[in-house]
Amino acid sequence: RIMVLSVVVPPLRERTEDIPLLISHFLKNAASRSAIPVPHIPESTLGDMLRHPWPGNVRELKNTVERMVITSHKGTIGPFTMDEDFGAERLLSLPSTPGRLREEMERVERAVIEASLRENRGEINTTCLALGISRRALYERMKKYGLRKEDFRQ
């Protein structure tokens, strides 16, 4: 038997009371994985997050919180903006100019590599595992973008 019990979970936009609890949970998990103290989230940022419709539901919230932890500065989460999102809507809204795709792909690749190096504190093996690329590929891209592992060690 496959369908013995059916569970209906309303979308996150209809369960806004769950958002602060989920944010707290995801903050603690992301900080623990990054081996950093749990960053402070300002009330204004929390308010902005409560007003967001979260079309990607809990997974989108989790990814957003993880990105915010990775990019937090001095133990504080910055303002909430979905501009940081590399989602399809943002990419589709970019102006269409010759050579634009390559530039955007390189910009996104660099941002992802920087975020992973930051999260892994410049540890090459861990970063390679997180990105799913070889050491050689990572070193080539780091050279291409002028990134040094020493800059990510804290």
Instruction: Give the domain ranges of the chain.
Output: 10-84, 86-154
Q: What is the CATH number of domain 10-84?
A: 1.10.8.60
pTM of the predicted structure, to 2 decimals: 0.52
What lies within 8 Å, CB to CB, of 129 at 6+ separation is: none
pLDDT band at 10 (very low <50, low <70, confident <90, very high): confident
- Equal CATH topology for 10-84 and 86-154: no
96-100: average pLDDT: 61
DSSP annotation of 39: P
Q: Which two tokens stand for residue 52?
A: 């967001």
Specify the CATH architecture of the domain 86-154.
Answer: Orthogonal Bundle (1.10)
Portion of the chain with pLDDT greater than 70, in percent = 85
- The pLDDT of residue 25 is 95
Cα separation of 125 and 47, whole Å? 38
- The pLDDT of residue 88 is 43
Q: Is the pLDDT of residue 80 over 80?
A: no
